[in-house]
Amino acid sequence: MRNLTTTSATTAATTTVLLFLILLYLHIQKLTPSQKIMSQLQYSNPINPYNRLHIIQNSDGTLTRLPEFYPTIPPSTTDTSAPSLSKDVILNSDHNTSVRIFLPKNVSNHEKTSKKLPILVFVHGGGFVLCSVATPVVHEFCSESASQLGALVVSVEYRLAPEHRLPAQYDDVLEALNWVKEGKDEWLKNYGDLTRCVMMGESAGGNIVYHVGLKVANQIDDFKPLIIKGLILIQPFFGGVERTKSEIRLVNDEDLSLVVNDLLWDLSLPVGSNRSHEYCDPFVGDGLKLWDRVRDLGWKIGVTGCDGDPLFDRNVKLGKLLEQKGVGVRSLFDKGGHHGMFLSNPPKTKELFDFVNSFFPV
């Protein structure tokens, strides 16, 4: 009797295991090819994205950004070693937003100039969650941009997620553009040419410039006398539900692994949304239809990237689609490299400046 009971239990356990394996097999067959690969790769080298980003999630949903990993530097109108002067101006005290303006030193030596400078509105990266205009690499890049491009640079300090989720960042940059168009600031009034404005964003900043640019293009009269001439998207931060080949190939990338990528979207997208949202995926919704207006305005669009960046395939696809729509787009795609290289690697920064100067000459 005991043997019969044991045999029955063994048979039941075996049947349960077989049923589980069959269900697992059927589930895998329903996955897309990239999802099948990801199911095998995502645990091969587990990464704690919070540790990688040096952040702690608090019980109320806010973040603690460990200050030792995110130093800041102040603006200066007296630093003799900097290529440009800089100052901060409050944008919206209720939102704690501001702009940091950079003026080339060779221009600042004159109280006024007859030939005014083009205005470059810059939007920093950080996955919508990190960094600021005072982050050293951002500050130094903007200071060099003003000097090397001969421009008045307006770097936007926008609100961060998850404390303020998208589209708060888009709204803040739109508010900054409205502030620029008013031209009340002394530097803007004396040195800035409102008829020559270019928007440039890096990583998440590229995403912001993309969405804000589309909105401005379709409400162009609301921003006069400010005239936008084009957009520069530096390794723009986009995503999607379906994984790309470059994301799979660089699944554990040191600069932007997929688990970090996914966490940044989880923290920044509207609550209840996923990576199929148009803020994340530019190839869904009506976004691409709005580019007809950009084409008609004659804006120039620059898109940069490199194949050492997990975002590479999305950046290339965006450039090709805009070209197909007749938009005046130019691309700068490098071999190797990494995400963020155009700000952190001086030779690549110079390459970017040469690229910008090639079709936005001063």
Active-site residue numbers? 203, 309, 339
Q: What angle do CA 168, 173, 176 make, to 5 degrees?
A: 130
Beta-bridged to residue 100, according to DSSP, are 88, 155
3-state secondary structure of 105: helix
Separation between Cα atoms, residue 107 and residue 85, nearest integer Å: 10
Taking alpha carbons only, the member of 351, 250, 256 closest to residue 302 is 351
Characterise 197 by phi-psi region: left (phi > 0), alpha (psi -120 to 50), beta (else): beta
Characterise 327 by phi-psi region: left (phi > 0), alpha (psi -120 to 50), beta (else): beta
Tell me the C-alpha to C-alpha distance, in Å, between residue 105 and each of 25, 110, 206: 66, 9, 27
Q: Encode burial over 209-219: b for 16+ CB neighbours within 10 A, e otherwise.
A: bbbbbbbbbee
Tokens of 128: 């919508």
